[in-house]
């Protein structure tokens, strides 16, 4: 950058924040699948060099030369949840007309204020973090509501054909730009207030980013076959539940109806959550009612999280058959990782001698 006296100034860092839109559900599919979705686009981004003025850029505008030069030379880019900005920049932005030759953002040049907050046991979300730090700059609540409306497709209006339509009123886009600029001011103050990661912790965070970028390979064809087996099993389980309860409960997912049915038969339970499994089974076992015992066991078996994981895998898997973004940095006070999306740490352990033949047999039936 050059100041008004013609002196070249060394820019230390760039603050960056994107506003995007997509038919994909970011929370359900994760950022890596989100950026691959062809409907995902960029409304705009806001940026700020050091403590200078906050600027914004929108598709169709002239390329921000000083920003591109900063990224090209490996300058530091600060963002809250920096992986989102990096993926949007590298995948969505660079596939847009006029942006294909923009330089890539690399992990080594990213500085994540969310990671820095987590490392000292502070909230990861910007709103609560602002409260804890008592920031002068806060998130724009009204703008946040507008952002939530504009990030998803709107319903087609009367006379419009089927397709994807956006809430793209020019006034709303301008207002969204103000919201994004305020986020940059808030994130800048967070950056000023939080300590940097230690050298060792910084290496761990970069490793986390590399692991999440690489992902794990999924056997998509095998998972699709498992889902088909589970769909058949679900129909049979629902039919069995209806039979056991005399039609009072028609699906294994109807927890409230099952609780009411049990209460009518003298079982003093208010819930059949996983934590209450042993207690509920003790009650029905004491009465010696085999139908109640089978109904309760059927509910718990059909409701296992491991069953739902298979369908979730198909929601998050990327085009190359890999699931990415499955680990969350520093999600406990000890610094250990947390799980995301399909929660890989919670996958059931398989006894290859006992369980694998049953799984393979089920798949053979479906082939």
CATH number at residue 94: 3.30.420
Asked, for residue 348, whether it belongs to a domain, the answer is no
Residue with the two structure tokens 């403590």: 51
Question: Which of 9, 87, 76, 83 minimizes the C-alpha distance to 47?
Answer: 76
Segment 166-195 shows an average pLDDT of 95
Check whether residue 59 and residue 171 sit in a common domain.
Answer: yes
Q: How far apart are CA 125 and CA 178, in angstroms?
A: 20
Segment 241-265 shows an average pLDDT of 89
- Is the model's pLDDT at 99 over the cut of 70? yes
Count CB neighbours of 284 within 10 A. Answer: 22
Q: Indicate the number of domains in the chain.
A: 2
Check whether residue 79 and residue 181 sit in a common domain.
Answer: yes
Pair of tokens at residue 332: 């406990």
Check whether residue 173 and residue 248 sit in a common domain.
Answer: no
Where a domain ends, among 216, 250, 274? 216
- Is the model's pLDDT at 1 over the cut of 70? no
Check whether residue 207 and residue 297 sit in a common domain.
Answer: no
Where a domain ends, among 201, 216, 231? 216
- Is the model's pLDDT at 273 over the cut of 50? yes
Tell me if 140 sits within 8 A of 187, measured CB to CB: no
Alpha carbon 141 to its chain's center: 21
- Is the model's pLDDT at 142 over the cut of 80? yes
Asked, for residue 151, whether it belongs to a domain, the answer is yes
Tell me if 157 sits within 8 A of 76, measured CB to CB: no
Query: Would you state the pLDDT for residue 32?
Result: 98
Asked, for residue 196, whether it belongs to a domain, the answer is yes
Check whether residue 110 and residue 132 sit in a common domain.
Answer: yes
Q: Confidence band (pLDDT; 50, 70, 90) for 200?
A: very high
Q: Confidence band (pLDDT; 50, 70, 90) for 291?
A: confident
Query: Would you state the pLDDT for residue 333?
Result: 81
Instruction: Between 2 and 115, name the one with better pLDDT.
Output: 115
Query: Would you state the pLDDT for residue 359?
Result: 54
Asked, for residue 52, whether it belongs to a domain, the answer is yes
Check whether residue 226 and residue 210 sit in a common domain.
Answer: no
Where a domain ends, among 286, 306, 326? 306
Question: Which of 273, 267, 358, 346 minimizes the C-alpha distance to 309?
Answer: 346
Query: Would you state the pLDDT for residue 367?
Result: 45
Query: Would you state the pLDDT for residue 25?
Result: 96
Check whether residue 287 and residue 239 sit in a common domain.
Answer: yes
Asked, for residue 351, whether it belongs to a domain, the answer is no
Residue with the two structure tokens 């010696």: 288
Q: Is beta strand 322-323 parallel, antiparallel or unpaired with respect to 76-79?
A: unpaired
> Hey, is 237 helix, strand or coil?
helix
Query: Would you state the pLDDT for residue 274?
Result: 64
Asked, for residue 194, whether it belongs to a domain, the answer is yes
Query: Would you state the pLDDT for residue 305?
Result: 61
Question: Which of 345, 323, 342 minimizes the C-alpha distance to 332?
Answer: 345
Q: Confidence band (pLDDT; 50, 70, 90) for 293?
A: confident
Q: Confidence band (pLDDT; 50, 70, 90) for 3?
A: very low
Query: Would you state the pLDDT for residue 356?
Result: 58
Query: Would you state the pLDDT for residue 364?
Result: 54
Tell me if 333 sits within 8 A of 121, measured CB to CB: yes
Check whether residue 59 and residue 105 sit in a common domain.
Answer: yes
Asked, for residue 160, whether it belongs to a domain, the answer is yes
Check whether residue 80 and residue 206 sit in a common domain.
Answer: yes
Check whether residue 162 and residue 268 sit in a common domain.
Answer: no
End-to-end CA distance of the chain: 64
pLDDT in tens, 169-183: 999 999 999 999 999
Q: How far apart are CA 140 and CA 178, in angstroms?
A: 9
Q: How far apart are CA 367 and CA 360, in angstroms?
A: 11
Asked, for residue 74, whether it belongs to a domain, the answer is yes
Summary mean pLDDT of the chain: 88
pLDDT in tens, 42-54: 999 999 999 999 9
Instruction: Between 273 and 133, name the one with better pLDDT.
Output: 133
Query: Would you state the pLDDT for residue 2?
Result: 47
Percent of the chain with pLDDT over 90: 61
Q: Confidence band (pLDDT; 50, 70, 90) for 349?
A: confident
Check whether residue 176 and residue 287 sit in a common domain.
Answer: no
Check whether residue 31 and residue 178 sit in a common domain.
Answer: yes
Q: Which structural domain range is residue 231 located in?
A: 220-306
């Amino acid at each position: 950058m050059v100041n008004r006296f013609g002196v070249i100034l060394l820019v230390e860092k760039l603050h960056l924040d994107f506003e995007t839109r997509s038919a994909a559900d970011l929370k359900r599919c994760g950022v890596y699948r989100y950026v691959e979705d062809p409907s995902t686009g960029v409304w705009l981004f806001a940026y700020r060099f050091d403590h200078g003025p906050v600027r914004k850029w929108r598709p169709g505008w002239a390329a921000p030369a000083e920003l591109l030069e900063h990224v090209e030379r490996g300058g530091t880019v600060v963002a809250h949840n920096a992986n989102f900005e990096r993926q949007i920049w590298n995948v969505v932005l660079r596939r847009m007309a006029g942006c294909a030759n923009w330089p890539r953002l690399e992990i080594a040049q990213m500085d994540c204020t969310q990671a820095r907050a987590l490392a000292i046991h502070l909230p990861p979300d910007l709103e609560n973090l602002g409260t804890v730090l008592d920031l002068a700059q806060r998130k724009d609540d009204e703008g946040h509501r507008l952002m939530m409306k504009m990030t998803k497709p709107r319903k087609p209006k009367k006379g419009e054909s089927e397709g994807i339509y956006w809430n793209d009123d020019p006034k709303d886009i301008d207002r969204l730009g103000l919201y994004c600029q305020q986020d940059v001011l808030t994130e800048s103050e967070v950056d000023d207030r939080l300590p940097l990661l230690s050298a060792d912790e910084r290496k761990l965070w970069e490793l986390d980013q590399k692991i999440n970028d690489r992902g794990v390979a999924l056997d998509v064809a095998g998972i699709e076959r498992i889902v088909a087996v589970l769909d058949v099993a679900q129909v049979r389980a629902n039919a069995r539940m209806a039979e056991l309860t005399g039609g009072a409960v028609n699906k294994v997912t109807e927890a409230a109806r099952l609780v009411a049915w049990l209460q009518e038969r003298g079982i003093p339970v208010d819930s059949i959550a996983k934590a209450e499994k042993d207690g509920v089974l003790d009650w029905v076992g004491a009465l010696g009612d085999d139908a109640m015992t089978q109904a309760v066991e059927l509910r718990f078996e059909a409701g296992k999280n491991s069953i739902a994981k298979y369908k979730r895998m198909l929601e998050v898997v990327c085009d190359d058959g890999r699931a990415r973004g499955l680990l969350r940095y520093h999600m406990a006070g000890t610094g250990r990782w947390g799980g995301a999306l399909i929660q890989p740490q919670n996958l059931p352990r398989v006894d290859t001698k006992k369980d694998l033949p049953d799984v393979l047999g089920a798949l053979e039936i479906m082939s």
